[in-house]
Amino acid sequence: MSTTATSSGAREAAAPGSSPRGLLAAMCACVVLVVGMVAAVNLAVPMLAASGLHPSASALVWIVDLYVVFFACLVIPGGAAGDRFGRKGVLLVGLVVFALGAAVSALAPDVAVALAGRAVSGVGAAAVLPNTLAVLLHAVPPQRRPATIATWASMTGIGGVVGNVGGGALLMSGSWRWLFAAAVPLALLLAAVVHRTAPVSARHDRRLDPAGALLLVLACLALLLGIVQGPEAGWGSAVVVAGFACAAVLFTVWVVVELRVAHPLLDPRLFRLPGLRSASLGMTAVFFGMFALFYVNASFLQYGKGFSVLETGFGIVPLTVPIILLGGRVGRFARRFGTGATTALAFAFVGGGLFGLSTGGSSTPYAVYALWLVVTGVGVTLALPTLSGAIATALPPSQAGVGAGLQATTREFGSALGVAVIGTLLTSRFTSLLPPSSSSHPHTVAQALATTPPAQVPEVVSAFTTAATTSLRTIALTVLALGALVTLESALTTHHPRRKQPR
């Protein structure tokens, strides 16, 4: 979406003492922090489940997901706010808000306060992510922008690795609170670095869409409420039915509002473009599978295989090996074999890898588990640059900002949906497999282990590992089905003339 500077010809004021490399490092560190927190909190799920907060199974999912929902729904408004009020200023505010939310979560006396802190951190993350790229693009010369964008984009993948490994190291302290407490000084330190290194850019008269942002957040929360509360409240309960009904109404109202406003948060008419529609669905599906895996992997390795939390953090690293070794070659591969073939192969690897992971139990050697992680990683490596490129090329250059925001939204929404769905599947299957003597009706492994006689502990662990693998198999089949839809629409698009760009 093109914007007009409020004062034409305004120059950026370079921060004193700043250097291009220092600025790039600072922006990349900000991305790693906010993205890494999405992955790191999954490692804390077993600790949270056994903590004094006494969270239910649905509350555990919300502790993971609430951050991601606010992150996903507000990342586009976060970029728009940077354009309007100043990218450096909004980035600094985002880091401070992120730190505030982390502090609230670290000190939370109960689940409600922990959830409030997670929501506040998600708002801060949404202000941070888009403005790191905006600051970089306005500080580097045009010839260096492609390399800068590639480096920045790679941080979203590296952030997941750092989140797992760093989160595992912090949780070795024995308390989940250290994970959130450590984020506070890190965010404030980065704010000080950004204040020193980032230039001040010209402001632009970009309209905001608060109604669209609010409706999108409420619609996503209502949808996840219906999914997450199903196993505990019952699928026919008032809260679940109301959640799904409200989601349908709110999404409909959101579309109507976005079609009528002059400057929508995200114009629904863009999805008339088949290439954009299929690539957005593909991006959502990939992150749906990845973060469903992250959620179940943390508990599976700790409960099922007896890994420490640090070993669990390192346990996911094989997934990233293909990203590191093959990421730079995907563009050439796609140009040689075509976007459609690359996308199809990507989903075959992602879905096939997840399915392979679901076939193992607690007795499966970790080497086999790691091999299936590598297979999944190959698919992710093929998918992300291919789908990102498809989203970018489906839109004219004047809407590059919309494309970047859409990519971030689909990634985070897919992540939130994956955690919610696998959390629901896991709870439903686990409770159905528990020994009949479990009279306390536990919904989490921690609850079950706390009330089960020692002789029945192996049965509880077996019930969990079976539930985990069965749930992951469902996720794998869903990813394969969505991948088939994406591939089919991509194939049909290449054989028909492109539709006219929506106005």
What tens digit of pLDDT does each residue of 190-228 get?
999 999 988 887 676 667 888 999 999 999 999 999 999
Q: Give me the pLDDT at residue 398, please.
A: 61
**pLDDT digit string, tens, across residues 472-499:** 999 999 999 999 999 988 777 765 544 4
Return mean pLDDT, the chain: 86
Q: Which amino acid is at 412?
A: E
Distances (CA, A) of 58 to 54, 55, 152, 228: 11, 8, 34, 6
Nearest C-alpha neighbor of 299 from the set 186, 135, 435, 463: 463
Tokens at residue 447, please?
A: 């609850």
**CB-neighbour burial class of residue 324 (10 A; exposed 0-12, middle 13-18, buried 19+):** middle
pLDDT at 404: 72
Half-sphere exposure for 473 (CA within 13 Å, toward CB) = 12
| Class of domain 17-198 (CATH, top level) | mainly alpha
Q: How far, in Å, CA of 462 to CA of 380, rounded?
A: 30
Contact at 8 Å (CB) between 406 and 417? Answer: no
Give 26-74 pLDDT, tens digit per residue: 999 999 999 999 889 989 999 998 899 989 889 999 999 999 999 989 9
Q: What is the pLDDT of residues 137-172, one digit of tens each?
A: 778 888 777 777 777 877 877 788 889 899 999 999
Q: What span, in angstroms and rounded, lies between the C-alpha atoms of 5 and 7?
A: 5
| pLDDT confidence of residue 1 | 40
The confidence score (pLDDT) of residue 8 equals 38
Judge whether residue 378 has pLDDT over 50.
Answer: yes
**CA–CA distances in Å: residue 82 to residues 75, 93, 94, 132, 262:** 11, 10, 10, 10, 19
pLDDT tens, 256-286?
999 998 888 888 988 888 888 999 999 999 9
Distance between CA atoms of 37 and 67, rounded to whole angstroms?
Answer: 9
What is the per-residue DSSP string for 289-323?
HHHHHHHHHHHIIIIIS---HHHHHHHTGGGGHHH
**What is the CATH number that goes with domain 271-503?**
1.20.1250.20
φ and ψ at 5, to 5 degrees? -65, 140
Token digits for 189? 């330190």
Q: Is residue 270 within 8 Å of residue 402, measured between CB atoms?
A: yes
Packing angle between helix 111-137 and helix 177-197, nearest 10 degrees?
30
The Cα 299–Cα 314 span in angstroms is: 14
pLDDT (average), residues 97-119 = 97
pTM summary value? 0.86
**Roughly what angle, to the nearest 10 degrees, separates helices 238-260 and 210-233?**
160
Nearest by Cα to 483 from 372, 373, 294, 346: 346
Using the structure block, give the residue that is written with the tokens 């990683």. Answer: 377
DSSP 47-96: HHHTSTT---HHHHHHHHHHHHHHHHHHHHHHHHHHHHH-HHHHHHHHHH
Residue type, 475: I
In terms of Cα–Cα distance, which of 471, 464, 467, 354 is closest to 49?
464
- Could you give the CA distance from residue 418 to residue 286 in angstroms, rounded to a whole number? 9
Tell me which DSSP letter residue 453 carries: -
Sign (positive or negative) of CA dihedral 10, 199, 191, 416: positive
- Averaged over 74-102, what is the pLDDT? 91
- Sign of the four-CA dihedral 66, 479, 156, 251: negative
For the packed helices 111-137 and 87-106, what is the interaxial angle rounded to 10 degrees? 160
Alpha helices, H only, 234-365: 238-260, 274-299, 309-315, 321-326, 330-337, 339-358
Check pLDDT > 70 for residue 9: no
CA–CA separation, 360 and 274 (whole Å): 38
Q: What is the model's pLDDT at position 289?
A: 94
156-160, 367-371, 407-411, 456-460: the lowest-pLDDT one: 156-160
Average confidence (pLDDT) over 360-375: 90
Q: In the prediction, which pLDDT does 448 show? A: 82
Most confident of 126-135, 232-241, 372-381: 372-381
Among candidate residues 257, 223, 275, the one with its CA nearest the CA of residue 406: 275
